[in-house]
Amino acid sequence: MTSAAPSTRPARFSFLSGPVDVCVAVPRLALDRPFTYLLGDDSAAGVGSLVSVPFHGRSVRGWVLGPAASVPEGRVLPVRKVLSPVRFFHAPLLDLFRWMSLRYLAPLATVIERSHPPRVAGEEPRSPWPPAPPDVAPLGHPPVWAPGVLADYGGADSLLAPETTTWLRPLPSQEVDVCVAAVEACLSAGKRAIVVVPEAQAAPATAAAVLEAFVTRAAAFIGGDPRERYRTWLDIAGGAFDVVVATRPGVFAPLPSLGLVWVSREVHPGHREDRSPYYHTREVATARAKLEGASCVVAALSPSVETATLVGNGQVRTWRAPRHRERAEAPLVETVAPEAEDRSVRLTTLLRRARSAALIVSRRGYGVARVCRVCSAPAACAECSGPIVVRGGAPVCRVCGLPGRCRNCGGGAFGVERGGSERIAEWAKRTGSVPVVLHQDGEAAPPGRDRIVVGTAAAVNDVGPRHLDLVAILDPDRALLRAGLHSGEQSVATWMEAAAWAGPRSEGGRVLVHTRRPGHPAIQALVRWEPLPFLQAEAARRTEAGFPPGHATFRITGNRDVEDALGRTSASVVVSAAAEGRTICLVTVAPADLPGFRRDVLGLAATGVVSRVEAEPQL
Ligand SMILES: [Zn+2]
Ligand SMILES: [Zn+2]
């Protein structure tokens, strides 16, 4: 059934000679344009080749982009050397990199550099690219993981329609199966698939299931040492695999005949790259699907505000199970007002009889230092004036991480307002009837039989269906007060994923939510098991704050002229602040205005008015 998928030598690497355009590896916006060089007849190089070229009197690395679009007057310098037989991208990926360079206002060189793991030259083949086709054992049997599961979501043909993006809301019991079935359908159609998961630690159940189902034809491009990682990437580029299961950088996996890019749990912070080019997996996957005629599926119980907005205006399709089945699989959500330290009588009652539970709280640690025991001054870090918290039994600054010392007298003893995952775990040990596991930094056992797991959002991983006796969200009101454009959507997605561990209400699945605001749209999203009204309210809130969903946001640093200069572009300057001779502006740009805005900023970078651009800053 899956034997139609290609495992042959890719025929997409032709040789070039004569004048070619090269992207030099000098990541500066002011130099972000192709330079033309002469490539020799016998170079065996072409699109994606890494070369050495003369540039302002020195040798720099660069990548061949293609035949020169126009040959400049005068002498064209020759390429000095072809540095590797590897082709680091093919033409459709170059189109994606150019799109990213536009969308995130990043030099093309930076985008290319980040699209593959750092080179380990010893791993590279000596022969011309591509290497001989790998000897991949065919699957002895079609996986047929969960026959018919796609029928609940509009069917395989619809889900795999080219150039589409779909928000798929899985039934919690089918989150893993529906992904495996979609990949299987993609392979059956003779195409290849990428599955992007948000984290490598606590290996997601979805990743494990896809790797298990497609055995030798699936590459795990997750973690690993640099040598192993580069080896895997070379094998993918050489055509050894039909399926790539990866974290964020896997969205660039150089697979030919791409049919499907699956983005698991799109709201997870792991999908955002926090260095240039500051991309988001969902956006890159959507663009790549459009450029390569593939389908992008964004799987989430509760999607992002951006996706909800695109669903609202018809640019993203929705596939979800019929409402009555969603309701039947949802847990029963009960709200009750919290008492001291995020506890309640109701929680105590439920926890006493639970054989399995997950308690989710927004704060780590044991509590917050309020006042110095020595001098009675309000507690603040001696080093940076940041707030002091108690973690692992000791006061520590939440900002700089140094041991907590009083800013006023240097003392290290504080009056502490207790609360946080460590404090909850201590209490649960006394209250519950099974052992307690405190989830810190992703090492702990997942929730399951005969244990109570206590943790923050970091503890809410893709571990597959659980059927816990109790899931409790202990301080959602506090979580909703957190600053940040994305904190609301992240809270609701996390709660919903944790709540799904309770299992269907028909089988006793129960979630306890502590809140004084049961009518808040975020809480109602959980109670009704329907996130869209909350996400629409969030979209309106962002628009009001000057950050309409779908518009690009940039933090631009420059000299004192930068605010006026940006004011003359198509951008809206939302905030600007001056400090130490520099001015920092926060701007938004409508998608249609990006090409013109990019040209303007490149001009401002060339004249020194703009010195730094950060796309989609964490606000
Ligand atoms: Zn500090
Ligand atoms: Zn003091």
Q: Where is 576: in which H helix or E strand?
A: strand 572-579
How far does residue 369's CA lie from ligand 2's centre (Å)? 12
Would you say 290 and 279 are in contact if contact means Cβ atoms under 8 Å apart?
Answer: no
- The pair phi, psi for residue 24, each rounded to 5°, is -80, 145
- The pair phi, psi for residue 356, each rounded to 5°, is -150, 135
Q: What pLDDT score does 13 carry? A: 77
How far does residue 419's CA lie from ligand 2's centre (Å)? 22
- The pair phi, psi for residue 250, each rounded to 5°, is -65, -15
Q: What angle do CA 268, 364, 203 make, to 5 degrees?
A: 40
Q: Hey, what amino acid is at 256?
A: P
How far does residue 408's CA lie from ligand 1's centre (Å)? 13
Q: What is the mean pLDDT of residues 532-541?
A: 96
How far does residue 615's CA lie from ligand 1's centre (Å)? 28
How far does residue 361's CA lie from ligand 1's centre (Å)? 24
How far does residue 374's CA lie from ligand 2's centre (Å)? 5
- The pair phi, psi for residue 188, each rounded to 5°, is -60, -30
Q: Is the pLDDT of residue 140 over 50?
A: no
Q: Where is 539: in which H helix or E strand?
A: helix 532-544
- Ligand closest to Cα of 387 equals 1
- Ligand closest to Cα of 382 equals 1
Would you say 338 and 475 are in contact if contact means Cβ atoms under 8 Å apart?
Answer: yes
DSSP state of 151: G
Note the pLDDT tens digit of each residue in 293-315.
999 999 999 999 999 999 999 99
- Kindly report the three-state secondary structure assignment for every residue of 170-224: CCHHHHHHHHHHHHHHHHHCCCEEEEECCCCCCCCHHHHHHHHHHHHHEEEECCC
Crossing angle of helices 281-292 and 91-103, in 10° steps, is: 140
- Kindly report the three-state secondary structure assignment for every residue of 110-146: HHHHHCCCCCCHHHCCCCCCCCCCCCCCCCCCCCCCC
How far does residue 122's CA lie from ligand 1's centre (Å)? 44
Count of CA atoms in the C-beta half-sphere (13 A) of 287 = 22
Note the pLDDT tens digit of each residue in 412-447.
999 999 999 999 999 999 999 999 999 986 567 889
How far does residue 385's CA lie from ligand 2's centre (Å)? 12
Tell me the two tokens of residue 212: 């298990």
- Ligand closest to Cα of 380 equals 1
How far does residue 73's CA lie from ligand 2's centre (Å)? 72
Ion ligand 2, residues whose Cβ is below 5 A away? 372, 374-375, 377, 406, 408-409, 411
How far does residue 426's CA lie from ligand 2's centre (Å)? 28
Q: Is the pLDDT of residue 319 over 50?
A: yes
Q: Is the pLDDT of residue 482 over 90?
A: no
Q: What angle do CA 139, 143, 149 make, to 5 degrees?
A: 155
How far does residue 407's CA lie from ligand 1's centre (Å)? 10
Q: What pLDDT score does 203 carry? A: 81
- Ligand closest to Cα of 397 equals 1
Q: What is the mean pLDDT of the chain?
A: 92
Crossing angle of helices 175-188 and 205-214, in 10° steps, is: 40
How far does residue 401's CA lie from ligand 1's centre (Å)? 6
- Ligand closest to Cα of 411 equals 2
How far does residue 399's CA lie from ligand 2's centre (Å)? 19
- Ligand closest to Cα of 400 equals 1
Q: What pLDDT score does 11 carry? A: 47
Percentage of residues in the chain with pLDDT exceeding 90? 83
Q: Is the pLDDT of residue 90 over 60?
A: yes
